Amino acid sequence: MDLLDLIDAVQSVADGVLFGATYSLLGIGFTLIFGVMHKINLSYAAASIGAAYASLLVMSVVQAPAVLAFVAAAAAGGVIGGLVYLVGFRFIPLANPLATLMSTVGLLLLIDEIIVHATAGVPLNYPALFSDVIVQVGPFGLRGDLMFVFALGCVCMVVLLLLLYRTRLGLATRAVSQQPTASLLCGISTTRVNVLTFVITGIVGGIAGAMTGAAIGMLSPLLSLPLTVKGLIVTVIGGLGSIPGAIIAGLIVGGLENAFQFFRGVSERDLYIMLLLFAFLVFRPGGIFARSAGRD
Amino acid sequence: MRKRSIAFATLVAGTAMVVCGMAGAQERTVKITGFGAKSGVVRVFGINSEAAMKAAAEEINSKGGVTLGDGTKAKFTVDFLDDRCNAEEGISVVRRIASTDAFVAVGPTCSNVAESLFGILQKKVGDASDSGLQFPIIADVAAKGGLAKISEWAFRNVPSEFEMYKSLIAWIKKEHPNLKTMYGGVEKDFAHSNATYGVMKSQAEGSGLQVLGPSEWLLNDTTFSTQVRDMKRANADIVAISAHPFTTCGVLKEMARQGVKPKLLIGLTSSSSIETLQGCAKQAEGIIIPTSFAPVTPEAKLAAEQVAKFGGSADLHSAAAYEIMFILKDVIESQKIMAKPDTVQADRNKMRAGLAALKETKGLLGKVGRTADREAIKPYLYVHAKDGSWQVLYKPTL
């Protein structure tokens, strides 16, 4: 490997880590819902992309600066999150894990098909902030739009952590997550907490969808499935229910994805990511921050 | 009085019979069933094909319709079924169509569907040992080269990408003799993109261009920075991108970010569409793509307007569907197809024989040749993205 190769390799990994912030946000959404309800919401990434599409609809009606797309996506994400809870969880027997899993698979396909029917599957341009900015750090160039996406992702994570650990809502959420029956006895409405969790994760998902659109510069229904897979991988590697784990895992997966792309090419790239997932499931099923004895 | 009443009743009954007979004759219809992707990410192809078939049917019907084997006139109606760009569903859809009175089907959208679907048809006509489906299918969109060879019941009205890129590369060599190197970009997991990159590469090498390598990505990839960095390092004169609009735009945007500015940019036929301009008109500026459709003749302009009326967009794929309806009309008339429930297999045989016998058909850009392999040799031109629209750059065959 010569110097140019090395520079390119580092640059690829850096780009991947920055883009990995979107995976982190998606992972947080998956992990929060799992943490609170002990259920996997497979429609989460599709709902996130749906929210980004909804923000484009808002932008087509209102002539506003590009930053509004992120606000609109967050708002739409919250609404869609609430609807997902209502349709996919509220009236489904929660005691049967397969029922909610299948209902969210159905919602994934439904949201995807709604997007396809609304847009005929045509990819749409998505506004990016700072897309012309390249910050040169020695031989490396850091994309302004990806840095913005990364910074926004970090802000979301901090806000989310503050919300969880510094507010009454966060306290209630953690209480429901840890001891649902005891929470009920203490007067906490689990339904209300569940709805709010879906709305909050929906908001985060909306921002993640907008960040993805901004980072690629486009939106397509093609994004739903790979982002669902990436979100799940991040959730497993980060540890189900662990927000710090999801954050770190997202960045790791983003960086490794580009590293494998650089060294092994596109045909092997996903293979190594899947092997990584497999390795975690076997050797560290509790995720990055699990105790070493977590497996048993 | 009684006689007059009887005469009046006879007159009324006779008139009623004549009117009913006329109504019956007027109601004679021939349903042509199309199939393709109307859901999923390639839904737009199905929408456009359906709109084109309906637009052509309306045009034919407005001029009196089609004359059947018994001399009666019939109107075309169009039905369009969704195969979701999935091979199993495509086969299921065609089996369903073949279980009706239909004597031909038009489709599919995706090459992977066509490849599997043509495989269930009888390979050689008249081969009693082959129990394959004896049902003619004519493809409008599925573009991967040489698919009609699979079965003698399979036909295509799609342009030859081999011919188009061969001509384009030769033209580039002639017009830009200073360009010496080419770098490719290919959507590795899509049959059409992959096959077409093979054509681009072989033609470039054959014409003396040095191919420095390809960057590869997948249809639903989200980042292209590594691939474009390879492209940047190669610093080729020409960059040829064989990918569909979503990743074509993703790559073009990444190229703009990284400042990759080749002297010439070539794209995949399927990207000469409105989707590319909706996704990245600015970054696509200057990209050259060969296509078998542009509204450059009166017929093509009319077709584009009519397809738009039915909610579609005329492009190289849907224009093929439009042309197919006229081809079917000609074959129905020349082969005296009856379109009756008791002549279904005979009609299918006649339709197959008629399509196989065609040496030339009338296309929207001019005459379309037919090969012994049941493929089309269509006129084509080169378009380039300019000022946010596709504009004709050169007309090599018009």
* DSSP, residue by residue, B312-331: ----HHHHHHHHHHHHHHHH
Of B257, B258, B279, the CB nearest to A218: B279
pLDDT of residue A14: 93
Q: Where a domain ends, among B270, B291, B312?
A: B291
Residue matched to tokens 């909706």: B278
Residue matched to tokens 């967009």: B313
Q: Could you tell me which residues come within 8 angstroms of residue A172 by beta carbon, excluding any fewer than 6 positions away?
A: A183, A188, A193
B385, B185, B381: which is closest to B284 by C-alpha? Answer: B385
Q: Which residue of A has its CA nearest to B246?
A: A123
Is B106 part of a structural domain of the chain? yes
Q: Are residues B320 and B253 in the same domain?
A: no
What pLDDT, in 10s, does the model give residues B187-203? 998 888 999 999 999 99
Q: Are residues B42 and B134 in the same domain?
A: yes
Q: Are residues B113 and B137 in the same domain?
A: yes
CB spacing of B249 vs A257 below 8 angstroms: no
Contacts of B253 in chain A (CB under 8 A): 216-218
CB spacing of B217 vs A266 below 8 angstroms: yes
Instruction: Give the orientation angle of helix A144-166 with respect to helix A3-37, to 10 degrees.
Output: 30
* A220 contacts B41 by C-beta, under 8 angstroms: yes
The answer, yes or no, to whether residue A1 has pLDDT greater than 80, is no
Bridging pattern class, strands B29-36 and A218-219: unpaired
* B266 contacts B186 by C-beta, under 8 angstroms: no
CB spacing of B223 vs A19 below 8 angstroms: yes
What pLDDT, in 10s, does the model give residues B59-80? 999 999 999 999 999 999 999 9
Q: Which residue of B has its CA nearest to A141?
A: B258
pLDDT of residue B2: 56
> In whole angstroms, what is the distance from residue B140 CA to residue B155 CA?
9
A278, A4, A15: which is closest to A144 by C-alpha? Answer: A15
Rounded to a whole number of angstroms, the distance between the first and last alpha carbons of chain A is 42
pLDDT of residue A227: 94
pLDDT by residue for chain B (398 residues), tens digit each? 455 655 555 555 555 554 444 444 456 899 999 999 998 888 999 999 999 999 999 999 999 999 999 999 999 999 999 999 999 999 999 999 999 999 999 999 999 999 999 999 999 999 999 999 999 999 999 988 889 999 999 999 999 999 999 999 999 999 999 999 999 999 998 888 999 999 999 999 999 999 999 999 998 898 899 999 999 999 999 999 999 998 999 999 999 988 899 999 999 998 998 889 988 999 999 999 999 999 999 999 999 999 999 999 999 999 999 999 999 999 999 999 999 999 999 999 999 999 999 999 999 999 999 999 999 999 999 999 999 999 999 998 76
Q: Are residues B59 and B208 in the same domain?
A: no
Query: Which chain B residues have any C-beta within 8 angstroms of a chain A C-beta?
Result: 39-44, 47, 188, 216-223, 225-227, 229-230, 233, 245-246, 249-250, 253, 257-258, 274-275, 278-280
CATH number of the structural domain spanning residue B79: 3.40.50.2300
Q: Is the peptide bond before A123 cis (omega within 30 degrees of 0)?
A: no
B312, B309, B291: which is closest to B363 by C-alpha? Answer: B291
Q: Could you tell me which residues come within 8 angstroms of residue B128 by beta carbon, excluding any fewer than 6 positions away?
A: none
> In whole angstroms, what is the distance from residue B236 CA to residue B182 CA?
5
What pLDDT, in 10s, does the model give residues A37-51? 788 899 999 999 999
Is B226 part of a structural domain of the chain? yes
pLDDT of residue A289: 83
Q: Are residues B173 and B247 in the same domain?
A: yes
Is B285 part of a structural domain of the chain? yes
Q: Are residues B151 and B64 in the same domain?
A: yes
B242, B188, B234: which is closest to A8 by C-alpha? Answer: B234
B345, B241, B322: which is closest to B289 by C-alpha? Answer: B241
Show me where the domains of chain A are located: 24-245
Q: Which residue of A has its CA nearest to B254?
A: A216
pLDDT of residue B24: 47
Residue matched to tokens 């080169």: B382
* DSSP, residue by residue, A115-144: HHHHHTT--EE---TTTT-EEEETTEEEEH
Contacts of B245 in chain A (CB under 8 A): 122-123
B346, B227, B270: which is closest to B110 by C-alpha? Answer: B270
Is B280 part of a structural domain of the chain? yes
Of A15, A225, A226, the CB nearest to B225: A15
For residue A136, what are its two tokens? Answer: 């040169």
Task: Tell whether A55 lies on the interface with B, counting CB pairs under 8 A.
Answer: no
Is B8 part of a structural domain of the chain? no
Alpha carbons within 13 A on the beta-carbon side of B336: 3
Q: Are residues B48 and B155 in the same domain?
A: yes
Of B188, B257, B278, the CB nearest to A266: B188
> In whole angstroms, what is the distance from residue A77 CA to residue A173 CA?
19
pLDDT of residue B23: 46
Of B219, B220, B280, the CB nearest to A125: B280
Cα-Cα-Cα-Cα torsion A269, A270, A274, A276, nearest 10 degrees, comes to 30
| CB atoms near residue A262 (< 10 Å) | 22
CB spacing of B43 vs A120 below 8 angstroms: yes
For residue B93, what are its two tokens? Answer: 């859809």
pTM comes to: 0.83
* A77 contacts A48 by C-beta, under 8 angstroms: yes
For residue A174, what are its two tokens? Answer: 């953690």
What pLDDT, in 10s, does the model give residues A155-169? 888 898 899 889 998
What pLDDT, in 10s, does the model give residues A76-105? 999 999 999 999 998 888 778 889 899 999
Q: Are residues B183 and B287 in the same domain?
A: yes
What pLDDT, in 10s, does the model give residues B212-239? 999 999 988 988 999 999 999 999 999 9
Mean predicted confidence (pLDDT) in A19-28? 92
Q: Are residues B99 and B183 in the same domain?
A: no
CB spacing of A215 vs B275 below 8 angstroms: no
Contacts of A134 in chain B (CB under 8 A): 257
The answer, yes or no, to whether residue A276 has pLDDT greater than 50, is yes
pLDDT of residue A26: 92
Q: If residue A174 lies in a helix (H) or strand (E), which one and from where to where? A: helix A168-178
Bridging pattern class, strands B367-370 and B360-362: antiparallel
pLDDT of residue A67: 87
Rounded to a whole number of angstroms, the distance between the first and last alpha carbons of chain B is 75
The answer, yes or no, to whether residue A295 has pLDDT greater than 70, is no
What pLDDT, in 10s, does the model give residues B135-145? 999 999 998 88
Contacts of A11 in chain B (CB under 8 A): 225, 229
pLDDT of residue B122: 97
Is B225 part of a structural domain of the chain? yes
Is B301 part of a structural domain of the chain? yes
Q: Are residues B278 and B311 in the same domain?
A: no
| CB atoms near residue B192 (< 10 Å) | 23
Determine the number of helices (DSSP H) and then strands (DSSP E) in chain A. 11, 4
Q: Are residues B194 and B312 in the same domain?
A: no
* A123 contacts A221 by C-beta, under 8 angstroms: no
B365, B364, B322, B329: which is closest to B141 by C-alpha? Answer: B322
| Residue of A261, A267, A271 best to disrupt the B interface, most CBs of B under 10 A | A261
Task: Tell me the nearest-neighbour CA distance from B232 into chain A, angstroms.
Answer: 11
Residue B244 structural domain: 161-291
Share of chain A above pLDDT 90, in %: 59
Q: Are residues B155 and B172 in the same domain?
A: no
Q: If residue A254 lies in a helix (H) or strand (E), which one and from where to where? A: helix A243-264
Structure letter (DSSP) for residue A290: S
Is B390 part of a structural domain of the chain? no
Number of domains comprising chain B: 2
ipTM (interface pTM): 0.84
pLDDT of residue B312: 94
